[in-house]
């Protein structure tokens, strides 16, 4: 479909996928069917060896001028000052210990009546120090201390009190404590306001810096017929993408994408939206409380694709599969897709070497164990499952298949449970380098089950995944 649009129209095409893996696979297929790499650009920070040349940062021919670089340097300096100011404001707020000095500084501008009543008057004559009992110098907080402790007058400074101060000294002790709390709260609120304002100014200049850099991005993207990104990339580069005025949006894995993410990919120049997916498979992820399964009406994980199909919106269903051998597709046909047909390429494949059958079910009586996750999973549970016996069986099968001549690049290990994914990663790491996709890796890190993200090994790579990946 992308090839037809590229060859037969002048439209710019925005290709959107949910995962980086799917996006790179899509782009590699476009390269294979003859679309020149010079006509494509891939947005985002990841790529495969073949799609690296399509990355935005790999594009040449458009550079920022001296004026733009000068603006960038100036903005970076301002951002550094904002960051210092923001860190200082955070530090003062986190260690806030409001002293009497802070109270008097606050009262001077916010409550001058109290400030006049609680300020020790200065001497009329220069060079003289006001003293109290025993000849000691009067503390600048003498009156504030008397007021806080509940005294009813200004002591030996009573004759210097301003008019209207009597009401302040007649306040009950409880009222004075409540007033102190209000003042301290107001001071903290001022600190919060300072943090907010510093953050706002930082964001303004950061947005301006992004805009300057985006000018180069826009000039590159405008020269491409096919713009490719994940749903996150479509949101991040929304302004630059829409500047290129893509008329067609082509979405893959549309059944797994939140409706809001589809809307983010659309723009004022969108003339056609093409969604490819399967609403009978996995839905998008969201909090269980907001899901279709909870039946509370939010249905946040019902994709636009599924909603339109359910409502009877015209659509085309593909009935021929090119992936599974007939022994596997017969199960799918019986359970979900009664009209599914097998393409010729799936027929007459060689049987699996070393095994009696091509589809094998194993029944055992070794129970799984519950694994506490510390987070809420997509079905509302806070635990997952592990089965040591099945993990060992998988490890032995991988070894056996290697003995039959199957390389690790021909194998994929799949499990329904995040807890079992962690176990398999640990067990398979004895002889292989288990590769996780971005979404599984994110879920494991979020659950606190994975921390080593940067290990390097010379072991053969083996893909492991949960069923939704």
Mind listing the pLDDT tens digit for each residue in 21-40?
Answer: 899 999 999 999 999 999 99
Q: In total, how many domains does the chain have?
A: 3
User: What confidence tier does 218 reach under pLDDT thresholds 50, 70, 90?
Assistant: confident
- Pairing state between β 461-466 and 433-435: parallel
Question: Is the pLDDT at 125 greater than 80, yes or no?
Answer: no
- Give the model's pLDDT for residue 198: 92
How large is the greatest C-alpha to C-alpha distance in the chain, in angstroms? 110
CA 152 to chain centre: 58
Q: Among residues 149, 172, 206, which one ends one of the domains?
A: 206
Q: Are residues 193 and 116 in the same domain?
A: yes
The mean per-residue pLDDT over the stretch 444-456 comes to 61
For residue 340, report the phi and psi dihedrals to the nearest 5 degrees.
-70, 130
Contact 432, 460 (CB under 8 A): yes
SS3 of residue 351 by DSSP: coil
Contact 139, 164 (CB under 8 A): no
SS3 of residue 230 by DSSP: strand
Q: Are residues 361 and 302 in the same domain?
A: no
Q: Are residues 25 and 51 in the same domain?
A: yes
Q: Are residues 385 and 428 in the same domain?
A: yes
User: What confidence tier does 67 reach under pLDDT thresholds 50, 70, 90?
Assistant: confident
Cα–Cα nearest to 147, from 167, 132, 162, 129:
167
- Give the model's pLDDT for residue 439: 66
Question: Is the pLDDT at 455 greater than 60, yes or no?
Answer: no
Q: Are residues 79 and 196 in the same domain?
A: yes
* Residue 358 resides in a domain: yes
Angle between helix 66-94 and helix 173-221 axes, rounded to 10 deg? 160
Provide DSSP, 111-122. -HHHHHHHSPPP
Q: How far apart are CA 456 and CA 441, in angstroms?
A: 16
* Residue 343 resides in a domain: no
Question: Is the pLDDT at 11 greater than 90, yes or no?
Answer: yes
Cα dihedral value 148, 153, 159, 164, nearest 10: 80
Q: Are residues 237 and 291 in the same domain?
A: yes
* Residue 431 resides in a domain: yes
Highest average pLDDT, of 202-216, 314-328, 366-380, 420-434, comes from 314-328
* Residue 334 resides in a domain: no
Percentage with pLDDT > 90 across the chain: 46
Q: Are residues 146 and 109 in the same domain?
A: yes
The mean per-residue pLDDT over the stretch 61-71 comes to 81
* Model confidence pTM above 0.75: no
Supply the mean pLDDT for the chain.
87
The mean per-residue pLDDT over the stretch 196-222 comes to 88
Question: Is the pLDDT at 308 greater than 90, yes or no?
Answer: yes
More confident residue, 270 or 435: 270
CA angle 12, 240, 228 (to 5 degrees): 50
Tell me the CATH number at 54. 3.40.50.300
Cα–Cα nearest to 24, from 11, 5, 39, 43:
43
Question: Is the pLDDT at 453 greater than 60, yes or no?
Answer: no
* Residue 260 resides in a domain: yes
Contact 13, 227 (CB under 8 A): yes
Q: Among residues 206, 221, 239, which one ends one of the domains?
A: 206
Contact 449, 417 (CB under 8 A): no
Q: Are residues 81 and 162 in the same domain?
A: yes
* Residue 421 resides in a domain: yes
More confident residue, 91 or 380: 91
Q: How far apart are CA 288 and CA 260, in angstroms?
A: 17
User: What confidence tier does 354 reach under pLDDT thresholds 50, 70, 90?
Assistant: very high
Q: Are residues 368 and 287 in the same domain?
A: no
- Give the model's pLDDT for residue 310: 94
Q: Are residues 311 and 355 in the same domain?
A: no
* Residue 129 resides in a domain: yes
Q: Are residues 309 and 220 in the same domain?
A: yes
Range of the domain at 315: 2-62+211-321
More confident residue, 350 or 435: 350
| Burial (CB count within 10 angstroms: exposed 0-12, middle 13-18, buried 19+), residue 286 | middle
Cα dihedral value 356, 357, 359, 361, nearest 10: -40
Question: Is the pLDDT at 234 greater than 70, yes or no?
Answer: yes
Q: Among residues 178, 206, 234, which one ends one of the domains?
A: 206
Contact 41, 220 (CB under 8 A): yes
Query: pLDDT for 79-110, tens place per residue?
Result: 999 999 999 888 877 766 677 887 888 888 88
Highest average pLDDT, of 212-216, 265-269, 378-382, comes from 265-269
Q: Are residues 365 and 418 in the same domain?
A: yes
* Residue 378 resides in a domain: yes
- Pairing state between β 320-321 and 272-275: unpaired
Question: Is the pLDDT at 431 greater than 80, yes or no?
Answer: no
Question: Is the pLDDT at 166 greater than 80, yes or no?
Answer: yes
Place of tokens 């001022």: 190
| Burial (CB count within 10 angstroms: exposed 0-12, middle 13-18, buried 19+), residue 255 | buried
Q: How far apart are CA 11 and CA 35, in angstroms?
A: 14
Cα–Cα nearest to 118, from 77, 148, 83, 80:
148
Q: How far apart are CA 136 and CA 156, in angstroms?
A: 13
Question: Is the pLDDT at 226 greater than 90, yes or no?
Answer: yes
């Amino acid at each position: 479909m992308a090839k037809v649009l590229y060859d037969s129209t002048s439209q710019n095409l925005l290709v959107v996928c949910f995962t980086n893996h799917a996006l790179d696979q899509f782009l590699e297929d476009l390269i294979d069917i003859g679309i020149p790499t010079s006509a494509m650009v891939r947005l985002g920070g990841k790529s495969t060896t073949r799609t690296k040349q399509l990355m935005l940062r790999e594009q040449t021919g458009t550079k920022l001028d001296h004026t733009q670089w000068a603006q960038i340097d100036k903005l970076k300096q301002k951002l550094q000052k904002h960051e210092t100011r923001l860190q200082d404001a955070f530090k003062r707020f986190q260690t806030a210990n409001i002293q009497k000095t802070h109270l008097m500084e606050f009262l001077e501008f916010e409550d001058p009546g109290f400030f006049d009543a609680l300020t020790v008057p200065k001497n009329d004559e220069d060079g003289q120090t006001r003293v109290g009992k025993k000849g000691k110098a009067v503390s600048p907080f003498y009156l504030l201390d008397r007021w806080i402790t509940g005294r009813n007058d200004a002591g030996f400074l009573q004759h210097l009190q301003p008019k209207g101060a009597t009401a302040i000294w007649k306040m009950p002790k409880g009222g004075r404590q409540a007033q102190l709390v209000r003042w301290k709260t107001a001071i903290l609120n001022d600190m919060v306001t300072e943090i907010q304002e510093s953050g706002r100014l930082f964001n303004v200049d950061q947005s301006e810096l992004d805009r300057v850099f985006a000018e180069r991005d826009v000039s590159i993207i405008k020269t491409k017929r096919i713009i490719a990104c994940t749903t996150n990339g479509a949101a991040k580069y929304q302004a630059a993408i829409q500047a290129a005025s893509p008329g067609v949006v082509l979405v893959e894995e549309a059944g797994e994408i939140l409706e809001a993410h589809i809307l983010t990919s659309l723009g004022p120049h969108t003339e056609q939206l093409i969604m490819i997916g399967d609403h009978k498979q996995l839905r998008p992820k969201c909090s269980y409380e907001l899901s279709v399964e909870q039946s509370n009406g939010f249905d946040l994980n019902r994709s636009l694709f599924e909603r339109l199909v359910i409502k009877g919106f015209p659509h085309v269903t593909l009935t021929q599969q090119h992936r599974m051998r007939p022994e596997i597709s017969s199960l799918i046909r019986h359970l979900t897709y009664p009209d599914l047909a097998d393409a010729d390429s799936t027929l007459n494949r060689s049987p699996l070497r070393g095994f009696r059958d091509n589809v094998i079910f194993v029944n055992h009586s070794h129970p799984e164990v519950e694994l506490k996750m510390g987070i809420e999973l997509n079905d509302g549970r806070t635990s997952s499952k592990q089965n040591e016996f099945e993990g060992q069986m998988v490890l032995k099968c991988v070894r056996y298949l290697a003995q039959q001549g199957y390389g690790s690049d021909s194998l994929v290990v799949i499990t329904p449970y995040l807890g079992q994914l962690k176990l398999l990663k640990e067990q398979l790491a004895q002889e292989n380098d288990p590769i996780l996709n971005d979404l599984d890796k994110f879920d494991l890190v979020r659950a606190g089950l994975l921390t080593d993200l940067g290990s390097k090994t010379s072991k053969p790579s083996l893909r492991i995944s949960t069923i939704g990946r």
